């Protein structure tokens, strides 16, 4: 493709010298697991998100899994979440032996609709797992109010929202735990897998540090059966270099989103992303809606331009979750969005002229 969804090399070349230096330091130290860069990154992420603790783990999926365990979710419990998200959100619930329960999304945000939570409640409901999808925070206020009223845990899926905020508070600081992914294509991404869990709870943080390290708080003493889920020192060093630049990266994403909006909002039949008042969107994905999605995708591909559909099969219709008993039509907004969403190239270094070219091609299809 002439224009990729994400050009990781452009960002790498910009920070190559600094990365080379910190990686050389790590290699020379020969301290690769739970070293000083991991601890420093945890402190820096906690400060950035406005939380008391940040605990680094091996992936965003592990972050969700361990956060649910550390906040007390058990086999047989029910966790309410969105069907319009990457499968890791629901997988983490299933790993524990708990049951994912889905509620439909809002058409304008692609996020969980808080008005539907009450209908999803049973006597086994123990937690809410809202997703801040595509970089836009979920409507967290009513979700938190509902959780307090019903005594529920809230675990935020922040995999796509590093740096996003609601009323000047960043995602990851609202619930009992916030779960981040550092997959390479994320707004803050490493060069492999990585994840982080934020929390204000001393108890949850202590449990997470044990769970990620084989259930051990003191070396060779194991209080519980844990996991091997430790962010390695090399990835932590890379992330510390990028973390210093994350606000700049996010502002550049927003600038490119504004360019897309200005051109695409004039085209009949195209719906551009929303950003409600008080919300700060960081555009992990720039996602439009169109009845002519397939036609647009083909025109872009013919011009050598990448595009992507996230997510073509909602979780309630995935084969692996057939046992939950959901059927087509259960979540009409989600299903309608899955048929119309299209994500366009988005990354901080995306050339402005490429944005204009993409918009011109889309306009020619309508």
Give the H or E element holding residue 157: strand 153-157
Q: Which residues pair with 154 in a beta bridge?
A: 128
CATH architecture of 8-243: 3-Layer(aba) Sandwich (3.40)
> The dihedral of CA 52, 156, 184, 93: what is its sign?
positive
57-87 confidence digits (pLDDT tens): 999 999 999 999 999 999 999 999 999 999 9
- Please give the pLDDT value at position 1: 82
| Structure tokens belonging to residue 34 | 């739970």
- Please give the pLDDT value at position 341: 98
- In angstroms, the Cα distances linking 82 to 53, 101, 181, 189, 359 are 26, 8, 18, 24, 30
Taking the CA atoms of residue 112, residue 169, residue 108 and residue 273 in that order, the dihedral angle to the nearest 10 degrees is -130
| Structure tokens belonging to residue 15 | 């920070």
Q: Name the 3-class secondary structure at 298.
A: helix
Q: Where are the domains of the chain?
A: 8-243, 247-365
Residue carrying structure tokens 């925070």: 137
Instruction: Of 263, 340, 333, give the one whose Cα is nearest residue 296.
Output: 340
CATH number among 3.30.1180.20, 2.60.40.10, 1.10.1450.10, 3.90.1150.10, domain 247-365: 3.90.1150.10
> The dihedral of CA 69, 73, 78, 84: what is its sign?
negative
> Which parts of the chain have pLDDT scores under 50?
none
Peptide bond into 311 cis (omega under 30): yes
Instruction: Of 357, 366, 165, 132, give the one whose Cα is nearest residue 260.
Output: 357
């Amino acid at each position: 493709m002439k224009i990729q969804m994400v050009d990781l090399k452009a960002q790498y070349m910009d920070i190559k010298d600094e990365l080379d230096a910190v990686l050389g330091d790590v290699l020379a130290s020969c301290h690769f697991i739970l070293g000083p860069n991991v601890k420093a990154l945890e402190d820096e992420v906690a400060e950035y998100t406005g939380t008391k603790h940040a605990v680094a783990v091996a992936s965003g999926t592990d972050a969700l899994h361990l956060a649910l365990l550390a906040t007390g979710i058990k086999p047989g419990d029910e966790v309410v979440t969105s069907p319009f998200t990457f499968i890791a959100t629901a997988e983490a619930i299933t790993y524990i032996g708990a049951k994912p329960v889905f509620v439909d999304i809002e058409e304008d945000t692609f996020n969980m609709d808080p008005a539907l939570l009450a209908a999803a409640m049973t006597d086994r409901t123990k937690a809410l797992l809202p997703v801040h999808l595509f970089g836009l925070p979920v409507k967290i206020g009513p979700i938190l109010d509902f959780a307090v009223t019903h005594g529920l845990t809230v675990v935020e899926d922040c995999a796509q929202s590093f740096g996003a905020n609601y009323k000047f508070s960043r995602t990851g600081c609202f619930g009992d735990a916030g779960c981040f992914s550092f997959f390479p294509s994320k707004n803050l991404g490493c060069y492999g897998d990585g994840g982080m869990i934020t929390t204000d709870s001393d108890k949850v943080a202590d449990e997470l540090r044990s769970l990620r390290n084989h259930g051990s708080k003191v070396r060779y003493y194991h209080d519980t059966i844990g996991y091997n889920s430790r962010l390695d020192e090399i990835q932590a060093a890379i992330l510390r270099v990028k973390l210093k630049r994350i606000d700049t990266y996010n502002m550049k994403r927003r600038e490119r989103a504004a360019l897309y909006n200005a051109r695409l909002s004039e085209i009949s039949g195209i719906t551009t992303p929303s950003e409600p008042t008080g919300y700060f969107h960081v555009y992990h994905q720039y996602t439009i809606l169109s009845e002519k999605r397939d036609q647009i995708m083909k025109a872009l591909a013919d011009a050598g331009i990448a595009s992507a559909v996230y997510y073509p099969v909602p979780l309630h219709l995935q084969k692996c979750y057939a046992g939950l008993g959901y059927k087509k039509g259960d979540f009409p907004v989600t299903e309608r969005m899955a048929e119309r969403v299209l994500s366009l190239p988005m990354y901080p270094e995306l050339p402005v002229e490429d944005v204009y070219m993409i918009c011109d091609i889309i306009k020619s299809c309508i």
